[in-house]
Structure 1
Amino acid sequence: MFDTLRPKVLAIINSEADTTERLQRICDLLRENIGHYDWVGFYFKNGDKPELKLGPYAGEPTDHTIIPFGKGICGQVAKSNQNFVVPDVKAQDNYIACSFTVKAEIVVPLFVNGENVGQIDIDSNTADPFTEADERFLEFVNAEVAKIL
């Protein structure tokens, strides 16, 4: 599945659309083609503030448009610079619930010139669905996205 999506991601990255539109198309592509990706979005560092701001996403609307560094899974990744895979969100003390249907989450940081500028965030309504293959694929997506930021 990921092997068939890689060229599609590259085609979006290399398209003539503006950056926001390309990011939106990537969110839509992943959500529509990966069964356990129920919400797909990008968060980016909000200027010089120690917080993340929601960018393009696909899925149910969220109230979490601003996330302080350190809060929730996304906020922790903003500080740790490490992938964070959460097989069961109920087992996480520092989890910010977006929807009662979400059972698992994966967040992968996005680096431009070695600086953590944002992340891709995936929520799943399936318990423990994420594998190392998801991590490698999302790292690939972010490496390609970094080229257009």
Structure 2
Amino acid sequence: MTQKKETYELLLLQAQSLLEGEHDVIANMSNLVSLLFHGLPKLNGVTYYRFKNGELILGPFQGKPACMHIPVGTGVCGTVAKTKHTEIVPNVHEFSGHIACDSASKSEIVVPVFQDGEFFGVLDLDSPQFNTFDETDQQYLTQIAPIIFGSKVSTN
């Protein structure tokens, strides 16, 4: 198993343990972004955006101040809100319409978050290095993101 997968396996266990028994989504998002921000290397931001009133609204985050409102279809997060599919961006400067909340960001991954099959928002991770994220990040972040709702994941 690669070091990245080992790190994510540990984060899955830690996330489940940390959020077990807590039903407040904002509290869970807050602890989960902190866990990811401090548990994964090469990050300068981890943010939940909630889908409300037809746009993405800033939720709990770690990093520099973030954009508070993102229209659907705008930037990486807004694109994911529109398509409901993960975006892995090796170089944000090559993503048309990228929104630079932190000018140090060079790569990004955004995964859609669903609650009971309904679109809830997105989980956004930024890195100050190019080519930070790949399919391994997508696989694990897709499992980790909905733990805020009390979801259990099996760690094979």
TM-score, scaled relative to structure 2: 0.87
Q: CA deviation at 1:17?
A: 6.9
Contact between 1:111 and 1:118, CA under 8 Å: does it hold in 2?
yes
Question: 1:122 is matched with which residue?
Answer: 125
Give, in angstroms, the shift of residue 34 of structure 1. 0.6
- The corresponding residue for 2:33 is 27
Partner of 1:72: 75
1:101-137 deviations in Å (ceiling 9; x for gaps): 1000100000112221101000110110112111111
Partner SS for 1:111: strand
Q: How many equivalent pairs are there?
A: 145
* Ranges of 4+ aligned residues in structure 1 off by more than 2 Å: 15-19, 145-148
Q: Map of 1:1-149 to 2, 5 A cutoff?
A: 1-16=7-22, 18-46=24-52, 49-62=53-66, 64-147=67-150
Q: Secondary structure of 2:132's partner?
A: coil
Aligned residues: CA RMSD: 1.5
Query: How many angstroms apart in 2 are the aligned matches of 1:134 and 1:21?
Result: 23
Query: Which amino acid letter does the alignment assign opposite residue 106 of structure 1?
Result: I
TM-score normalised by the chain length of structure 1 = 0.91
| Sequence identity percentage | 32
Assess if the C-alpha contact under 8 Å between 1:40 and 1:120 holds in 2. yes
Unaligned stretches of 5+ residues in structure 2: 1-6, 152-156
Asked if structure 1 preserves the Cα contact closer than 8 Å seen for 2:32 and 2:148, the reply is no
> Deviation per CA, 1:19-71, whole angstroms, max 9, x where unpaired?
2122111111111111122200100111xx22010100011112x10101111
